[in-house]
Chain A
Amino acid sequence: MSVRETILQTVEGSPGREFIIDSDIHPEPYSPQSFRERLPARWREHCETYGDPQRGPYAALTGYPRYIPRTSRRDAWPSNGGLPGSDLELMREQHLDRHGVALGVLEPLGQGSWTRNLELMGAVCSALNEWQLEDFVAHEPRLKASIVVPMEDAPAAVAEIRKHADNRDFVQVQMNSLSEEPFGRRKYWPIYEEAVSHGLPVGIHVGGSTGARTGGGWPSYYNEEHYSLVNSTQAHLTSLVLEGVFEHFPALKVILIEGGIAWTPALSTRLDRLWSRLGSEVPHCRKPPSEYVKANVFFSTQPMEEPENPEDLLQIFADIGWNNILYASDYPHWDYDDPEYAFKAPLSVEQKRKIMFDNALSVYRLD
């Protein structure tokens, strides 16, 4: 039975119960050390000798210290001493069971393309992929994994996708937003080509440690850094469209995760206006930019926008497109969105169903 059929069977088996699909759950190892054990000896020794070169909010060092340990909800620390997100029991109790999660997409963060050492990047991504299966998916079939790729090394990324492409426990390819180049650039195209050939969408989650924070230099505060992640998402969206990625790979589905959503209609409109005057600079971009965004790009909701007048949200959603929005919780992080309370606007049953369930069912590879 396909993953989709299994999900639908679960739903049909419990009439009256509401189910949701969560596009952003962060699994963590019991401890950084326990994950390092999974690396080949060559890289374990490397990390022991040189220190872990992966920098970011989930590593021991970050340029922008969080106001909350491990960027996590304070109630998400398991009693067994592990990191938030490491304990399936607690994840079930606080999130999966509690909210009827029929499918939760795992997004490992903080490792992989968070180092500039390409060989290490590849080794960590491989280990992350095995680890998701062994420690999470094998014990909890509602969770599905992402093929985390060493995104700055396209041949290695392609090989990693190929290695897992036939395994239905992987439902997307995952990259992170702080990259060396904007994602429309040709160096990343082999990744898209491989993903498309297996029917896998590409999720781009904000974060990373190696890339520039903003186009305007390096900010001072976590307040600024948290917001600057939106800048990286905007840069990638613009680049993907204008470099012609969606023209070249019309079947490519990109999911922008945790980069905010309210700005997207404004950006699309602006790009359309520029394109209508300057389209000759990008002749490979044959349709107005907003059409590619509507056809190929999906946005995860968390952190949910909270306009002063909650009903304004309905207009924002309508402008983005009701079919392009996917619910995300970000469990166990501090900016977690509770599916019951995060949406302060009155959504109709049908609108809610699209965001919480139906859209994701058609975006991820669930055949």
Chain B
Amino acid sequence: MVQSERRLKRGRQGEFVSKHVVARVEDIGPGERRVVTVRNRPIVIFNLDGEFFGLLNRCPHQAASLSQGIQAGFAIAEVPGTERCIRRGEFIRCPWHGWEYDIRTGQSWCDPESILVRRFKVERVPGSELVKGPFVAETVEVSTDEEYIYVEA
């Protein structure tokens, strides 16, 4: 039913990518995350209020596993004494030196233009769609009545 042979297409940087079914939607609840390995790359998948995002599980600074960090927002202040929290849970903070990355974009908070984590496209797909392919489901058992998450990598 699921096509296991890789049908490769070109990704953002012109490299070949394929769609990999990595989990059922209900395996990663809102606020949760999970590390999957796709084509030898560790990718951490986040669920932000039902939307899924994927980042390479490797900090660009000194290569710590981002999945071991905490998800946080930011305390900001326009002037002293006006602190408030924004975007709670939408950043992953590296477990070592604490650099923060926007889970939606992979961009670092400290230097968004030049320091970023590689992002992977993550989408939901109903099991019934999987038959239409092309998808790779090496590790997940799929059936037509559930919803799945796939990563393009």
Q: List residues of A whose CB falls within 8 A of some B CB.
A: 67-68, 73-75, 334-338, 340-342
* Total interface residues in chain B, CB < 8 Å: 12
- Which of A67, A68, A342 is close to B62, meaning CB atoms less than 8 Å apart? A342
Q: Closest Cβ of chain A: how far from B52's Cβ, in Å? A: 23
Complex: A273 Cα to B68 Cα, angstroms? 49
Complex: A75 Cα to B62 Cα, angstroms? 14
- Nearest B residue to A336 by beta-carbon distance? B96
19 pairs across A/B with beta carbons < 8 Å? A67-B98, A68-B98, A73-B64, A73-B68, A73-B96, A74-B70, A74-B95, A75-B64, A75-B65, A75-B68, A334-B97, A334-B98, A335-B97, A336-B62, A336-B96, A338-B62, A340-B63, A341-B63, A342-B62
- Nearest A residue to B59 by beta-carbon distance? A341
Let me know if A341 and B62 touch, CB within 8 A: yes
- Which of B62, B63, B69 is close to A74, meaning CB atoms less than 8 Å apart? B69
Let me know if A75 and B95 touch, CB within 8 A: yes
Q: Which residues of B contact A67 (CB under 8 A)?
A: 98
Complex: A340 Cα to B63 Cα, angstroms? 9
Q: Which residues of B contact A338 (CB under 8 A)?
A: 62-64
Q: Which residues of B contact A334 (CB under 8 A)?
A: 95-98
- Nearest B residue to A67 by beta-carbon distance? B98
Counted as pairs of residues, one from A and one from B, with CB atoms less than 8 Å apart, the total is 34
Complex: A334 Cα to B69 Cα, angstroms? 11
Complex: A338 Cα to B95 Cα, angstroms? 13
Complex: A341 Cα to B96 Cα, angstroms? 13
| B46-82 interface (Cβ within 8 A of A) | 61-65, 68-70
- Nearest B residue to A337 by beta-carbon distance? B62
For the complex of A and B, the 4 pairs showing the least CB-CB separation, nearest first, are A74-B95, A75-B68, A341-B62, A338-B62
Q: Closest Cβ of chain B: how far from A95's Cβ, in Å? A: 12
Q: Closest Cβ of chain B: how far from A4's Cβ, in Å? A: 30
- Nearest B residue to A341 by beta-carbon distance? B62
Let me know if B63 and A73 touch, CB within 8 A: no
Q: Which residues of A contact B96 (CB under 8 A)?
A: 73-75, 334-336
Complex: A211 Cα to B68 Cα, angstroms? 35
Q: Which residues of B contact A73 (CB under 8 A)?
A: 64, 68, 95-96
Name the residue in A68, A73, A74, A337 with the highest tally of chain B Cβ atoms < 10 Å from its Cβ: A74
Name the residue in A67, A75, A340 with the highest tally of chain B Cβ atoms < 10 Å from its Cβ: A75
Q: Which residues of A contact B98 (CB under 8 A)?
A: 67-68, 334
- Which of A68, A74, A341 is close to B61, meaning CB atoms less than 8 Å apart? A341
Q: Closest Cβ of chain B: how far from A202's Cβ, in Å? A: 29
Name the residue in B61, B62, B65, B70 with the highest tally of chain A Cβ atoms < 10 Å from its Cβ: B62
- Nearest A residue to B72 by beta-carbon distance? A67
Q: Closest Cβ of chain A: how far from B62's Cβ, in Å? A: 4
Q: Which residues of A contact B97 (CB under 8 A)?
A: 334-336
Complex: A335 Cα to B99 Cα, angstroms? 11
Complex: A74 Cα to B70 Cα, angstroms? 9
Complex: A342 Cα to B59 Cα, angstroms? 12
Q: Which residues of A contact B68 (CB under 8 A)?
A: 73-75
Q: Which residues of A contact B64 (CB under 8 A)?
A: 73, 75, 338
Q: Closest Cβ of chain B: how far from A239's Cβ, in Å? A: 31
Complex: A67 Cα to B93 Cα, angstroms? 11
- Nearest A residue to B60 by beta-carbon distance? A341
Complex: A67 Cα to B100 Cα, angstroms? 13
Q: Which residues of A contact B61 (CB under 8 A)?
A: 341
- Nearest B residue to A68 by beta-carbon distance? B98
- Nearest B residue to A303 by beta-carbon distance? B97
Q: List 4 additional contacts besides A336-B96, A340-B63; criterion CB under 8 Å.
A: A67-B98, A73-B96, A75-B64, A335-B97
Complex: A68 Cα to B96 Cα, angstroms? 9
- Nearest B residue to A75 by beta-carbon distance? B68
| B107-124 interface (Cβ within 8 A of A) | none
- Nearest B residue to A342 by beta-carbon distance? B62
| B16-66 interface (Cβ within 8 A of A) | 61-65
Q: Which residues of B contact A337 (CB under 8 A)?
A: 62
Q: Which residues of A contact B70 (CB under 8 A)?
A: 74
Complex: A334 Cα to B98 Cα, angstroms? 8
Complex: A334 Cα to B95 Cα, angstroms? 7
Q: Closest Cβ of chain B: how far from A334's Cβ, in Å? A: 6
